[in-house]
C-alpha cells in the first residue's frame, strides 16, 4: 500500500492486487462496506496518521474509490470540516451514477483538467483509450470544456464514470444538451482523447 498526502486535507491510498489479497479483501467486498473493509479502512487511517500526520479525528470524511483495469485500487480521502462526530462507526456509501451509455458528456472546468484526465487514461486505462478513440469530441462552451462520448459500451461506461470523478463533472446526457453545446459552443477537436 502506498500513501500520498495530496494536500492538508486530502490523502490517497494506492493498493495493488497483492495488497488486497494480503488483507483477504477483494474490490467488490471493499465497495460493499463489509466488516472486513471497514476494519481495513480504519487501519489505513491509523497508518496515514503515523506516516504522514493525516489526522481524521473529529472530521467528516469524503471517500472516493476507483478500481483500475490493471488491478490497482485507489482510495482518496478528503477531510470536509472539523466537527465532533456522534458515532465512531465508519460507513462508506457507493456513489451511484445513472448514465445513458450511448451518450456521455463530461464538463471540465479548464483545459488543464482535460489534459490531466487524458494523461491519466493513457497511463492507467490504455484499453479504454482504444475503445474511445473514434467516438469522442471536445467542445468549448462558456469558459468550460465538454467531452462528448458517443456509442460507449456498457462495460466501459462504469469504468469511465469512476475514472473521471477527479477531473470532471458528469453532465445530464441528453440530445438537448448535446445540441446546445454543438450550436453555441466551439468544436476544439474530434478524437480528443487520442489527440
- In the Cβ-directed half-sphere of 162, how many Cα atoms lie within 13 Å? 20
Q: What is the mean pLDDT of residues 148-172?
A: 74
pLDDT tops 50 at residue 101: no
Predicted confidence band at 181 (pLDDT cuts at 50, 70, 90)? Answer: confident
- Here the cell at position 2 is 502506498
Phi, psi of 184 (to 5 degrees): -100, -15
Predicted confidence band at 145 (pLDDT cuts at 50, 70, 90)? Answer: very high
- In the Cβ-directed half-sphere of 95, how many Cα atoms lie within 13 Å? 11
What pLDDT, in 10s, does the model give residues 102-127? 778 888 989 998 888 888 878 877 77
Q: Nearest CA to 152 among 119, 104, 97?
A: 104
Could you give the maximum distance between any two Cα atoms of the chain, in Å? 54
More confident residue, 158 or 77: 77
Predicted confidence band at 95 (pLDDT cuts at 50, 70, 90)? Answer: very low
Instruction: Give the model's pLDDT for residue 31.
Output: 61
What value does the CA radius of gyration of the chain take, rounded to a whole number of Å?
18
Instruction: Give the model's pLDDT for residue 69.
Output: 66
List the domain boundaries for the chain.
2-82, 103-190
The whole-chain average pLDDT of the chain stands at 76
Instruction: Give the model's pLDDT for residue 84.
Output: 40
More confident residue, 105 or 157: 105
What pLDDT, in 10s, does the model give residues 21-80? 776 666 666 666 666 667 777 888 888 889 998 888 878 888 887 777 677 778 888 887
Predicted confidence band at 173 (pLDDT cuts at 50, 70, 90)? Answer: low
Domain at 103-190: CATH code: 3.30.70.1950
Global confidence as pTM: 0.47
The residue written with cell numbers 492507467 in the block is 124
Residues in the chain: 195
Amino acid at each position: 500500500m502506498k500513501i500520498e498526502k495530496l494536500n492538508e486535507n486530502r490523502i490517497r491510498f494506492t493498493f495493488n492486487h497483492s495488497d488486497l489479497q494480503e488483507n483477504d479483501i477483494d474490490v467488490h467486498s471493499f465497495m460493499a462496506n463489509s466488516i472486513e473493509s471497514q476494519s481495513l479502512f480504519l487501519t489505513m487511517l491509523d497508518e496515514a496518521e503515523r506516516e504522514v500526520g493525516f489526522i481524521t479525528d473529529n472530521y467528516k470524511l469524503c471517500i472516493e474509490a476507483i478500481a483500475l483495469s490493471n488491478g490497482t485500487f485507489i482510495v482518496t480521502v478528503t477531510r470536509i470540516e472539523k466537527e465532533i462526530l456522534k458515532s465512531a462507526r465508519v460507513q462508506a456509501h457507493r456513489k451511484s451514477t445513472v448514465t445513458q451509455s450511448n451518450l456521455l458528456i463530461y464538463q471540465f472546468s479548464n483545459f488543464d483538467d482535460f489534459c490531466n484526465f487524458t494523461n491519466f487514461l493513457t497511463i492507467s486505462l490504455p484499453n479504454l483509450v482504444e475503445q474511445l478513440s473514434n467516438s469522442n469530441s471536445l467542445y468549448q462552451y462558456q469558459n468550460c470544456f465538454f467531452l462528448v462520448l458517443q456509442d460507449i459500451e456498457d462495460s466501459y461506461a462504469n469504468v469511465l464514470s469512476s475514472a473521471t470523478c477527479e477531473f470532471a463533472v458528469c453532465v445530464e446526457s441528453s440530445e438537448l444538451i448535446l445540441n446546445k453545446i454543438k450550436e453555441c459552443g466551439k468544436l476544439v477537436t474530434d478524437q480528443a482523447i487520442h489527440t
